[in-house]
Amino acid sequence: MFEDQEIISTIEMVKNENLDVRAVTLGINLFDCISHDLNVFKKNIRKKIIGHAATLVETCDQVGEKYGIKVVNKRISISPIALVGASFSSEQMVEIAHELNDIAKIVNIDFIGGFSALVERGIAKGDQALIDAIPEALANTQRICASVNVATTKAGINMDAVLIMSRAIKKAAALTADADALACAKLCVFSNIPQDMPFMAGAYLGVGQADAVINVGVSGPGVVKRAIERNLAQQRLPLGRIAEIIKRTACKVTRVGELIGREVADILKIRFGVVDLSLAPTPTVGDSVGEIFQALGLSHIGVPGSTAALAMLNDAVKKGGAFASSHVGGLSGAFIPVSEDLKIAEAAQKGFLTIEKLEAMTCVCSVGLDMVAVPGNITEQVLAGIIADEMAIGMINAKTTATRIIPVPGKKAGDSVNFGGLLGKASIMNVPHLDLEDIFVEYGGHIPAPIHSLKN
Amino acid sequence: MNKMIISVLAKDRPGIIASITSDLYELGCNLENVNQMILQNQFAGFFITQVPQSLSCETIRQELSLKEKDHELTIHVRFLEEETQAPVAEKEIFLITTSGPNQKGLVAKLSSIISSFGANIVNLKAVFMGGSNPNENVMSYQVLITKEIDAPAMFAALKEKAKELNLDIRIQHKNIFDVTNKI
């Protein structure tokens, strides 16, 4: 028995506040597909992925229909190809990417993540082959996402890998120059990458996971924004009370994700993994993290007060999610992807949000410099420096950080780019001193792991 | 002891429940279930009670009417047959919620479709206040659906009818309301 208001508020969340399940991601372990023969390996991964995912999309749609909650994206994450394909050359890695792209089309998913390597302590033969293959693999496929973890809190930062990734990003940008460097929108460089994240482009299935697992990514910036607005319309509230409202809303949204994820997992007879409650925006009005900042009384995301507001938002989301479910994982927090969020893109375009402020905000958000388009003539040293700075934030703070930076060839600060669909559109952000060729990043080697005591 | 169900309608006021249950207690009855609701200013109460063998339905009705003669109650009493426990069928509850312009016959039109598919409405709330605010003209049916019912066809028929009536309709499994409202 439900009260009228309970029924109406649930329907409002779906109908007017863009509550949805952003991603149901099927993680598939590919270690039992390993072979030295590329054709055998390709055949094995095709059989295993299609075997598990043949009815993924149909099942998600059925469950979404049952509950009246749309499952927007159905995706697959796989074991890092650098590990399961360690014996292959970079040319063969590109062939594997094409095979995965075909498989993604067959099972009707938009992205498959796991064209990945973990190189925080060093680069093995398979890792090098994969990284070398990334530019061509991403430029010539549509549905592959790649990620490379170059740092962890316990390992430090592999600075050789940082510079190599800077070069890989520049090369991927050049290969897709006619599409505003679209390949770079499918490539993340990580510090402390989570093994169970359902969100692209960084999703992969870690080595400690089950053979197959369903992870769910729930979003809901529109629901949080409306909850804040509704309460502030009634009375002026102190920030502690607003944090409580965000926490309660996040709790509801997480429970929706777990309900749907568990049912999908039950039907597919696959283990349920985690709910990742992340405020992941889309370029749609009413589905923006930037709008939450405005609901909190800041004229634009990026103005003074933004880092404090984001810290409160991120923490409240985590607390609400942790209360709602014992199986919360992935990133769980607030994303601030520039081009994918209407209001963040607008703040950047109007100059309220600069790349320096964005970096400061990544100290307290759940990801990092995400979907940031920069001028194509940025030097590889400056790009590597930005990546290294972001990795240091993650390493020191024992949190995930990532960069998804898109140096767009032939475009300068203020020019517009359009990546299409959920990737959105934005203005190129100004990067001060982008033509420097400082040698700091060229020294290579390792920035040692930080001390775990004497914290201040 | 016999089992009876007693329904009581009255203009709402404080003390109806206290008064009726005291009367039943004095008659030697033992209450099993009570439920009540208020629609606008009207009270409706339902009492399932065990009644001494010596008392008939008519006796109970007359006794209650006599005791409450100043309160203008409408009272009905009937025997309840003890039912043998039916095997538990696989069943799920869906909430069918509509909002939109008020028109005559809305409940009849939608509930007829639900009935034609053999589905049982276990709870219905309908509020029609007129005006343009869709949230002030809302129907919410909780419908029990067993395996034998062709749920997709019923949902399609309801959506078709809602479209014809210019109503926004949402059909969602009950659990989504549980997870968003019950902690």
pLDDT digit string, tens, across residues B136-147: 788 899 999 999
Closest CA to A116 of A140, A103, A100: A100
Of A74, A80, A75, A73, which Cα lies nearest the Cα of A29?
A80
Identify the sign of the CA torsion A236, A238, A241, A247. positive
Q: Given an 8 Å threshold on Cβ–Cβ distance, is A69 in contact with B176?
A: yes
pLDDT at A367 (0 to 100):
87
Q: What is the pLDDT of residue B86?
A: 64
Residue-wise pLDDT tens digits, A108-146: 999 999 999 999 999 999 999 999 999 999 999 999 999
Q: What are the tens digits of pLDDT across the range A147-191?
A: 999 999 999 999 999 999 999 999 999 999 999 999 999 999 999
Q: In this structure, what token pair is assigned to residue A97?
A: 């990417």
Higher pLDDT, A93 or A332: A93
Q: Please report, in angstroms and rounded to a whole number, the separation of the first and last CA atoms in chain B.
A: 41
Beta pairing, strands B2-11 & B42-51: antiparallel
What pLDDT, in 10s, does the model give residues B108-158? 999 999 999 999 999 898 887 776 676 678 889 999 999 999 999 999 999
Helix (H) or strand (E) holding A293: helix A289-295
Residues of chain B with pLDDT > 90: what percent?
Answer: 47
- Using a CB-CB cut-off of 8 Å, the residues of chain B touching A259 are 175-176, 179
pLDDT of residue B84: 65
Residue B121, Cβ density class (10 Å: 0-12 exposed, 13-18 middle, ≥19 buried): middle
Q: What angle do CA A31, A163, A415 make, to 5 degrees?
A: 105
Confidence (pLDDT) at B137: 81
d(CA A305, CA A138): 38
The residue to which tokens 């479209």 are assigned: B163
Residue of chain B nearest A6, judged by CA positions: B181
Assess A68–B contact: CB distance below 8 Å, yes or no. yes
**Ramachandran region, residue B47 (left: φ > 0; alpha: ψ -120 to 50; beta: rest):** beta
pLDDT (0 to 100) of residue A431: 96
Count chain A–chain B contacts defined by CB atoms under 8 A: 60
Which residues in chain A are closer than 8 Å to B167, comparing Cβ atoms? none
- The answer to whether B77 touches B60, Cβ cutoff 8 Å, is yes
Where does residue A146 rank: exposed (0-12), middle (13-18), buried (19+ CB within 10 A)? buried
Taking only the tens place, the pLDDT of each residue in A403-416 is: 999 999 999 999 99
pTM for the structure as a whole: 0.87
Q: Average pLDDT for residues A250-255, to the nearest whole number?
A: 90
Contacts of A68 in chain B (CB under 8 A): 170-173, 176
Q: Is the pLDDT of residue A29 over 90?
A: yes
Contacts of A16 (CB under 8 A, 6+ apart): A222, A226, A286
Mutate to test the interface with A, among B180, B181, B182, B183 (most CBs of A within 10 A): B180
Whether residue A284 has pLDDT greater than 90: no
Q: What pLDDT does residue B103 have?
A: 81
A6 contacts B181? CB cut-off 8 A: yes
What tens digit of pLDDT does each residue of B10-49 get?
999 888 888 889 889 999 999 999 999 898 889 999 999 9
Give the C-alpha separation, A429 to A154, whole Å.
32
pLDDT at B63 over 80: yes
With beta carbons less than 8 A apart as the criterion, state whether A75 and A26 touch.
yes
Q: Are A302 and A327 in contact (CB under 8 A)?
A: no
Residue A247 CB neighbours (<10 A): 20
**What does the alpha-carbon distance between residue A315 and residue B95 come to, in Å, rounded to a whole number?**
34
A36 — phi, psi (to 5°)? -80, -15
Residue B85 has pLDDT above 70, yes or no: no
Residue A210, preceding peptide bond in cis (omega within 30° of 0): no
Q: Note the pLDDT tens digit of each residue in A185-222.
A: 999 999 999 999 999 999 999 988 899 999 999 888 88
Predicted local confidence at residue A5, as pLDDT = 80
CB of A252 less than 8 A from some CB of B: yes
